[in-house]
Amino acid sequence: MLNFFKIYDIILPEIYIISLEVVFVMNITVMGTGRWGSFIAWYLNKIGHNVISWGRSDSPDFICLRDERKNDLLEFDDKIKITDDLGYAVSSSQIIVISISSQNLRDFMKSLSSYDLSQKIIVLCMKGIEETTCKRLSEVVEEFVSENTKIAIWVGPGHVQDYTRGIPNCMVIDCKDKSVIHKLIGEFSSDLIRFYVGNDLIGNEIGAAAKNVIGIAAGMLDGIGYTSLKGALMSRATREISRLIEAMGGNAISAYSLSHLGDYQATLFSEHSHNRKFGEMLILGKQYTKLAEGVSTTNAIIKLGKKYNVELPICNAVYQVINEGQDARKTLSNLFLRSIKQEF
């Protein structure tokens, strides 16, 4: 039986029939040429879409892809168009995927909103909370677009290094508009990534951002030789973040979903995790130069905890070590080995 997707009022330039399935080839622009942005462009091209990869003209990542069509993780197919022309990148696609530093999103949206974004779908493939306002990233984007621009998030576990080796994983797409979720899942799914339907935008955004803070805590435990405490960290951190999600109006169970607990292996244990590595290097007194989104998110999470009157002992411990120079061994030992209390 043919598997027909619903046809929306969007550009559908080509239709192929492959393996008895109707596949709509979409025009998609991926904004950002870093580790994750380059992978998304690579992946969407791999599953058959027309892809434009946009980056800043002065970005080393962009220059590398433009000149060599590859980076240290992957190689671009000849079909992927690479540009630094923002107007062309926006006008050429109905779906715009953004994968940049979360703290740069507001400034980027100021530039992006000067172009016509009506009837487009913006997909945020990034994890964080705006440090200055404590807003979720979808809330930041909402300030710059009208109601006829749909905003979705694409979050969950996985590393580029694994995906490009053909190792599959599961992720989640969420949006206020349920029809957009099903549309994107229909267009983005493959044997490499299985997408689940999100049903809690607040919980999935907070959960995805907060797992980076817990990743830093895991790295700190590695740094002081307390790796065995990661089990306790996973158990207590999930409960901690569930309380925050619930206080903010989300579903507490979302802390146990793909966006948070489901991403722990990739963030708390993997050598590829920037946040885990940052925490480890901090304890060892070594400089870590790559982006660790969890640092800014830690500051925002602490503010949210105060705003919603939620106790966040693990996040607070990470904050104290990073910003107040507290001794990590003492702080983390006191955190997990403190006085008797009920587990639930």
Question: Phi/psi class of residue 172: alpha, beta or left (left: φ > 0; alpha: ψ in -120 to 50)?
Answer: beta
pTM of the model: 0.90
Residue 72 burial (C-beta neighbours within 10 Å; 0-12, 13-18, 19+): exposed
From first to last of its 344 residues, what are the pLDDT tens digits of the chain?
333 333 333 333 333 333 323 357 899 999 999 999 999 999 999 999 999 999 999 999 999 999 999 999 999 999 999 999 999 999 999 999 999 999 999 999 999 999 999 999 999 999 999 999 999 999 999 999 999 999 999 999 999 999 999 999 999 999 999 999 999 999 999 999 999 999 999 999 999 999 999 999 999 999 999 999 999 999 999 999 999 999 999 999 999 999 999 999 999 999 999 999 999 999 999 988 888 899 999 999 999 999 999 999 999 999 999 999 999 889 988 887 765 566 56
For residue 156, the Cα-to-chain-centroid distance in whole angstroms is 7
Domains and CATH numbers, the chain: 14-199 (3.40.50.720), 202-336 (1.10.1040.10)
DSSP state of 165: T
DSSP state of 260: T
Report the alpha-carbon distance of residue 265 to residue 263 in Å, rounded: 6
Q: What is the predicted pLDDT for the residue at 10? A: 36
- Are 242 and 253 a contacting pair, CB within 8 Å? yes
The closest of 265, 274, 281, 275 to 315, measured between CA atoms, is 275
- Are 65 and 35 a contacting pair, CB within 8 Å? no
Q: What is the predicted pLDDT for the residue at 101? A: 95
Report the alpha-carbon distance of residue 178 to residue 176 in Å, rounded: 6
The residues annotated with a catalytic role in the active site are: 211
**Helix ranges restricted to H, the chain:** 35-46, 60-68, 86-91, 105-112, 137-142, 160-163, 178-188, 201-223, 230-247, 264, 274-283, 294-307, 313-323, 328-336
Measured at the CA of 197, the angle between CA 275 and CA 185, to 5 degrees, comes to 95
Distance in Å from the first CA to the final CA of the chain: 49
- Are 258 and 196 a contacting pair, CB within 8 Å? yes
Phi, psi of 291 (to 5 degrees): -70, 125
DSSP state of 3: B
193-197 and 150-155 beta bridge pairing? unpaired
